[in-house]
Amino acid sequence: MEPELKLLEDIGLTKGEIKVYLALLRLGVSKTGPLAVTAGVSSSKVYKILDRLEKKGLAGHVMRGKIKFFTPMESRRILDLIDERQNELAAKKVLMEKMLPELETQWTGEHKTEATVYDGFNAVTNLFKNILDELRVGETYYVIGGGYGEGVPGLRKFFLTHHYRRKNHGIKVKMLANYDVKGNLEESTQLDSEIRFLPEYLITNMEIVFYKDRVFIAIWTREPKAFLLESTEAVKSFRKYFEALWKIAKP
């Protein structure tokens, strides 16, 4: 799907609605027959799609005699849809924030596990988001093997944003980055950070992150995975490992 069509789908239009709306833009004013042909949808579906487009404010109609003709609304009305979705999400966020204390009471120590495995890009990157929620201003987290993996879609963009957010939260990072990203780190990584680079022979897709009593190991492949361990002793061990590597790493 072309990027602009994907964008329309992302803001809440179905594939059918996109086809019919774009056909309306091309035709200007049209009866349902030519519109269905131009859009490539069945005549039986075009009425339902037009009804939804009218409710979304992207189409209207006029009567000429006993025949109904449909016309598109201005393309700028699409921005109204985005505003509506933002307002809906904002309202849902407020409700969820009110629910969180109750949800957290359901998560008791009896149910917590010491080690957890996470699968998929969103699950693994959420562990980095948790860092910003769990550390306070002036605190530091540590990274061994910082890099971007092998062709992980969206990973560079994620870390670009992550480090800007980290800076805004006042959180520092001390990183042992992989040799192959020297001179090629996202610029935001440099903010409030200390960075050295591991020797070339230590390059790996495995990234170790630790802070407080948490250690997680992320494997940056096309289907990322991570292993989270909650253990003060593990953090102490990785801290010693980090300090040993820091001595041989280069700025």
For 80-134, write each residue's pLDDT tens digit. 888 887 887 787 777 777 777 766 666 555 545 467 889 999 999 999 999 999 9
Are 179 and 228 part of one and the same domain?
Answer: yes
Contacts of 129 by beta carbon, 8 Å cutoff, 6+ apart:
162
Please state the φ and ψ torsions of residue 225, each to the nearest 5 degrees: -135, 160
3-state secondary structure of 193: strand
> Model's pTM, two decimal places?
0.61
Residue 94 counted as domain residue: no
Are 48 and 130 part of one and the same domain?
Answer: no
Query: For residue 74, what pLDDT is reported?
Result: 80
CA 37 – CA 20 distance, rounded (Å): 10
Residue with tokens 């992150």: 209
Residue ranges for the chain with pLDDT beneath 70: 1-4, 102-114
Query: For residue 94, what pLDDT is reported?
Result: 78
Residue 93 counted as domain residue: no
> Cα separations (Å) of 145 from 122, 149, 226?
20, 10, 14
CATH number at residue 53: 1.10.10.10
Residue 97 counted as domain residue: no
- Which of residues 57, 72, 87 is at a domain's end? 72
pLDDT > 70 in the chain, percent: 93
DSSP 27-66: HSSB-HHHHHHHHT--HHHHHHHHHHHHHTTSEEEEEETT
Residue 98 counted as domain residue: no
Give the domain extent around 235. 113-248
CATH number at residue 216: 3.30.870.10
Closest of 202, 226, 81 to residue 145, by C-alpha:
202
Are 52 and 117 part of one and the same domain?
Answer: no
Are 244 and 120 part of one and the same domain?
Answer: yes
Are 63 and 160 part of one and the same domain?
Answer: no
Are 205 and 151 part of one and the same domain?
Answer: yes
CA 228 – CA 233 distance, rounded (Å): 14
For residue 19 the two structure tokens come to: 């086809």
Residue 174 counted as domain residue: yes
Are 151 and 200 part of one and the same domain?
Answer: yes
Q: Give me the number of domains the chain comprises.
A: 2
